[in-house]
Structure 1
Amino acid sequence: MAATESTTTSPSPEAGSANRRSRRSRQNQESATDGTSRADEQRILVVSGLAHKNERHYGPLADVAGETTLVCLDPTYDIDSANYVRVPEVGPRIVRIVLLLFVALYEGYRNDYDAVASISLVPYGLYALVLKTVYGYPAHLGIIGIDLDYHANQWYGVGPRWAFRQFDVVSVPGPSHADRLARVGVPDERIDLLTNPIDTETYRPPETDIDTDYEFVWVGRFSAEKDPCRFVDALAELDASGREFRAVMVGDGPLRSEVAAKVAACGLADCVDLPGWVDDPLGYYYRSDVFVLTSKRDALPLVMLEAMATQLAPIVPSVGSIPDVVTDGENGIIVRDRDPTTFAAAMECCLDDPDFRRSLAANATAVRSDFSLERASEDWRRILTTL
């Protein structure tokens, strides 16, 4: 289809996690026999504001569903097998976000669908619940991170936790998030995993040896939750130990001027580059030896998976579902306290023991099979079978 535009006793957390993994294994086997036809017959309505991220999140869905229609704010029409319904260009973005609900309601009225899918509770997941209430569509919510990591723990968290329990399927990026979702009251049978996929054709080890320019690369939004200043503090600790290095911080955001000022104040201007925002950090991955993540809060960061797929050793905090992917000393280094001194010690280890760093990097590339678009399609097929 070408893309078109139209108007008893509660189990322990450990037991719960084991049960979920066992159930998913059985479901994978069952979907190989009868799940395929069931998924291929379904018409799915997607409510989205992800724009350029639609292809990565919903392309694998479109590959397995019978028909996929996206109601979205700023479609880029990247999914060839999907239909698109665009919200009219009326007023500022906040007006269009509100209008998105009414466009989705009209689309649900004029066409029949088997389920509605969304990612991120506010507002898209809430809109999916409205469609469920009005038309009876089974509803899916994909939690990427902030809904469960932040909103569910605030003073108003009773609202998000209640909302999670209203969905027919809630997907999360890893078992750690699945366990936390169960603890806020979502029934186990409604919890599933949805791979946060990367383009493994693009993010792969270089075909030839490349002379790297940087020992360390940091990639992300310069914002409080990503904590870029923590990386600068770690570099300052490394510099104070007498180590020589070069580092690059790729990205932009509200803390950019603060980061630049801190780099200068720490005397690191000659060894830290700040190139700003780039559309694709692949070139910087190839030019670096180690990827460093300093986030206070993260679900399963795409940049970490991309860096690992390109054969970089990751130094990362123990937040979100990261420990589900990175095993300390095997395919990366886990910094459990996020202290700059601990980050610097991990970075020193990679500088002082290149063989160890190369071993971590080689093992890191296993994410290419675990987080492929094909794996995400398998997850969507299972989710549709549940719906």
Structure 2
Amino acid sequence: MTLQKKKILFFIATLAQGGAERLISELSFKLQDFEIVIVISENKVSYPYKGRLVVLDVPFPKNFFLKIYCYFVRFLKLRKVLQAEKPDYMVSFGAFAHVTNVVLNRDVFLHTDMFYSKARNDFWGFVLKAFARFFYNRAQKIIPVSFSSAQDLVRNYGIQRQKIQVIYNPVDIEKIQRLCQAPLNQRFVDIFSHPVVITMGRLMRQKGQLHLIRAFKRFKEAVPDAKLVVLGEGELKGALEKLVRDLGVESDVYFLGWQDNPFPFLRASQFFVLSSLYEGLPTVLLEAMATGLPVISTDCKSGPREILAPGTDINKEAKDMEIAECGILVPVEEEETLARAMIALAKDPALRSSLIEKARERAEDFRMERVIEDWKLLFGYGRVEDTKL
């Protein structure tokens, strides 16, 4: 007699472009002992998945009243799905998904991939933070992606320590190494005949690309033949393109959009820069490291310090350029310091070589197989030991 697999239901806004979306994609393939159902609000899918996909067909409008209306429609549709599916475990990804999930069911898991105290400060940011403070303790488990963000939830939002289980984002190293071998499209070869600084992520204020472009302008004075490649799409694209024109570097900055396989672009670059204002745990940083790139990152909350300087206090913040064990950390929004770090890395082959080796070694700590075991323990009501909170 074959035992019936337990069912996991993942709930997220879309399955397009993003770290949490990529994680669900990976989990759907790797959690082979479970039946997987993925529920999305909007029919936007960029990542492959295994299991069944349920689309609620409810958008996220900008209008205040439509937003409230769509929340209730989403609530009712999701409730109907839960009644039909009867999942053993339900995991929501993203603050707006949590709002629906926790109200519907106490026996849920909330995957949080941002540092709440640094996240959006508009009206909806205030609402989501208030919701976290008053409702997250209803959940069975809260799953932050870094110890720093977990500490923030406990100290500043009153989340019960026993509710917290940190699980890092995984990196599929073998898959990345395989994808790296794909040839670079011929129309991009000329760009990568120059020293290329590369970044990857949604084009939005949080990712800090405005600061990176200004830093790149300074960097060009020291490395005149350098190019900047930006992978990703987003609402800030027009503003970023205007800034590039205003700075006179339009022939040196390339917006190459969303790439199904970004790894040949990473492999062909000299180094990677993460310029974010805040994060949860930046998977793109780990992917660049696994590709064999030296990396520079802002020391934002949270994640980069835990990745690049694992032996340091997670509460420490870089005050200047900090050559850490596995990469370079710089203060958030400090363009002059970021430019200096870029120049230092470009001009010092020995430093690049050292950081490449350390980056590859550190990426192994986030290997997919290790993280999948943490998820299996979670669903088996086991506990992964952690001591950093």
TM-score by length of 1: 0.77
1:311/1:264 Cα in 2 relative to 1: closer, same or farther (>3 Å)?
A: same
Q: Secondary structure at the match of 1:193?
A: coil
Q: Secondary structure at the match of 1:102?
A: helix
Q: Which residue of 2 aligns with 1:374?
A: 369
From 178, 185, 198, the equivalent of 2:158 is 185
Structure 1 segment 205-244 matched on structure 2, within 5 A: 213-241=194-222, 243-244=224-225
Q: Distance in 1 between matches of 2:121 and 2:244?
A: 35
Q: Distance in 1 between matches of 2:337 and 2:247?
A: 18
1:369/1:50 Cα in 2 relative to 1: closer, same or farther (>3 Å)?
A: farther
Deviation at 1:298, TM superposition (A): 1.7
Deviation at 1:309, TM superposition (A): 1.0
Q: Which residue of 2 aligns with 1:63?
A: 31
Query: Which amino acid is 1:142 matched to?
Result: H
Q: Secondary structure at the match of 1:117?
A: strand
Q: Which residue of 1 aligns with 2:312?
A: none
Deviation at 1:217, TM superposition (A): 0.9
For each residue in 1:116-147, what CA deviation from the matched residue of structure 2 results, as whole angstroms up to 9, or x when unmatched? Answer: 2111121x2122223325xxxx1100001165
Q: Distance in 1 between matches of 2:237 and 2:374?
A: 37
The Cα RMSD (Å) is 3.3
Deviation at 1:186, TM superposition (A): 1.3
Is residue 202–residue 232 contact of structure 2 (8 Å, CA) maintained in 1? yes
Q: Secondary structure at the match of 1:196?
A: coil
Is residue 99–residue 131 contact of structure 2 (8 Å, CA) maintained in 1? no
Structure 1 segment 21-170 matched on structure 2, within 5 A: 42-52=6-16, 56-57=23-24, 59-60=26-27, 63=31, 66-73=34-41, 74=43, 78-80=48-50, 82-87=51-56, 89=57, 98-122=72-96, 124-132=97-105, 138-145=107-114, 147=116, 149-150=118-119, 155-156=126-127, 157-170=129-142
Q: Distance in 1 between matches of 2:161 and 2:324?
A: 32
Q: Secondary structure at the match of 1:386?
A: coil
Q: Secondary structure at the match of 2:229?
A: strand
From 291, 298, 308, the equivalent of 1:326 is 308
1:257/1:115 Cα in 2 relative to 1: closer, same or farther (>3 Å)?
A: closer
Q: Distance in 2 between matches of 1:257 and 1:219?
A: 17
Q: Which residue of 1 aligns with 2:387?
A: none
For each residue in 1:8-50, what CA deviation from the matched residue of structure 2 results, as whole angstroms up to 9, or x when unmatched? Answer: xxxxxxxxxxxxxxxxxxxxxxxxxxxxx9xx96433332333
Deviation at 1:167, TM superposition (A): 1.3
Indicate the structure (1 or 2) with the bigger Cα radius of gyration: 1
1:330/1:51 Cα in 2 relative to 1: closer, same or farther (>3 Å)?
A: same
Is residue 206–residue 277 contact of structure 2 (8 Å, CA) maintained in 1? yes
Deviation at 1:291, TM superposition (A): 0.3
Q: Which residue of 2 aligns with 1:199?
A: 172
Percent same amino acid at aligned positions? 22
Is residue 197–residue 372 contact of structure 1 (8 Å, CA) maintained in 2? yes
Is residue 171–residue 192 contact of structure 1 (8 Å, CA) maintained in 2? yes
Q: Do residues 355 (structure 1) and 336 (structure 2) align?
A: no
Q: Distance in 2 between matches of 1:276 and 1:105?
A: 36
1:65/1:117 Cα in 2 relative to 1: closer, same or farther (>3 Å)?
A: farther
Is residue 152–residue 160 contact of structure 1 (8 Å, CA) maintained in 2? no
1:244/1:193 Cα in 2 relative to 1: closer, same or farther (>3 Å)?
A: same
Is residue 102–residue 108 contact of structure 2 (8 Å, CA) maintained in 1? yes
1:54/1:244 Cα in 2 relative to 1: closer, same or farther (>3 Å)?
A: closer
Q: Secondary structure at the match of 2:295?
A: strand
Q: Do residues 172 (structure 1) and 140 (structure 2) align?
A: no
Deviation at 1:288, TM superposition (A): 0.4
Q: Higher relative contact order at CA 8 Å, sep ≥6: structure 1 or structure 2?
A: 1
Is residue 41–residue 65 contact of structure 1 (8 Å, CA) maintained in 2? yes
1:258/1:142 Cα in 2 relative to 1: closer, same or farther (>3 Å)?
A: same
For structure 1, the residue ranges without an aligned partner over 5 or more in a row are 1-36
